[in-house]
DNA sequence: AAATATACCTTGACAGGTGAGGTATATAAT
DNA sequence: ATTATATACCTCACCTGTCAAGGTATATTT
């Protein structure tokens, strides 16, 4: 079953930060990982992906730098900041809270 | 902690249908119930509430009728349809799916 | 030469949420 | 009497995240 983007909305930033917590990475790679993990059930649309990176950088949660590939397409790498790590933890807490809230509201 | 509306977005319709599944009701009452259940942690903004009712009615998930109060403010009551009941069950299934999906994506 | 994969980007439109404003009736407080 | 509060509904303009559609560029495979 396809899951509506309205339900996933609000988790994009958390998802991206989670991958950057493991290691610096770039858009295309993160999206591939998402597809692998979800058995191709889910992917971020490119426009969503790149606007999310901009947003996170504007918020100071990540920084970006160009990779030094000497072959193939250029890659813009992202790294999570300390502020980004704090934000990630806050997002996780918020998720735990909202799960309970939603559960309490959608069942009779 | 306040929960971002982006995380709750997508559950509004499910929440409203859940209350109408119990009994016919009207906007103000449902919102009061939400506040009670959540210990005033959460409420639907009026604009959100009433646009959601319109949407649900357009989708054929609910129907509306005016109450016959002979005192106090008028009330527009809503009743869930068979289609609405099906939609509610689909929303619940979708939620179960998306919970797993989100969990798998936000934790390393 | 054409197709595919990698890798990035921007623009315009859309949908749901919301602040701010409005209308109306009834009761409680000053 | 007047004001405040509670009940109960509604609409408009704006904001934000998503996304379809388009574009650019390099490298490999057919």
Residue written as token pair 């008028």: B74
Measured CA B80 to C1' D15 distance, in angstroms: 31
Alpha-carbon distance of B90 to B98, in angstroms, equals 12
In the sheet that holds A76-80, the strands lie side by side as A25-26, A76-80, A62-66
**In the structure, what pLDDT confidence band is assigned to residue A69 with cuts at 50, 70 and 90?**
confident
pTM, entire model? 0.94
Q: Does A92 touch chain B (CB under 8 A)?
A: yes
- DSSP label at residue B4: P
Asked if residue A7 lies in contact with residue B98, where contact means CB atoms within 8 angstroms, the answer is yes
CB contacts of B19 in chain A (<8 Å) are 108
| Closest residue of chain A to B94, computed from CA coordinates | A3
What is the reported pLDDT for A70? 85
Q: Three-state DSSP class for B26?
A: strand
Q: Which two tokens stand for residue A41?
A: 């059930």
The nucleotide whose C1' lies nearest the CA of B8 is C17
Residue A103 pLDDT > 90, yes or no? yes
Select from B36, B26, B35, B21 the least CA-distant residue to B72: B26
Q: Which two tokens stand for residue A51?
A: 């606007």
Q: Does A102 touch chain B (CB under 8 A)?
A: yes
Q: Which two tokens stand for residue B10?
A: 């997508």
| Segment B51-83, tens digit of pLDDT | 999 999 999 999 999 999 888 889 999 999 999
| Segment B84-102, tens digit of pLDDT | 999 999 999 999 999 999 9
């Amino acid at each position: 079953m396809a899951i509506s983007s309205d339900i996933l909305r609000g988790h994009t930033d958390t998802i991206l930060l989670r991958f950057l917590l493991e290691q610096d990475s770039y858009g295309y790679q993160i999206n591939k990982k998402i597809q692998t993990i979800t058995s191709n059930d889910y992917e971020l649309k490119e426009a969503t992906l790149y606007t999310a990176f901009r947003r996170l950088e504007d918020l100071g949660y990540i920084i970006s730098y160009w990779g030094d590939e000497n072959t193939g397409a250029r890659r813009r790498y992202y790294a999570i900041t300390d502020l980004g790590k704090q934000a990630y933890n806050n997002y996780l807490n918020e998720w735990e809270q909202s799960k309970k809230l939603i559960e309490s509201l959608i069942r009779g």
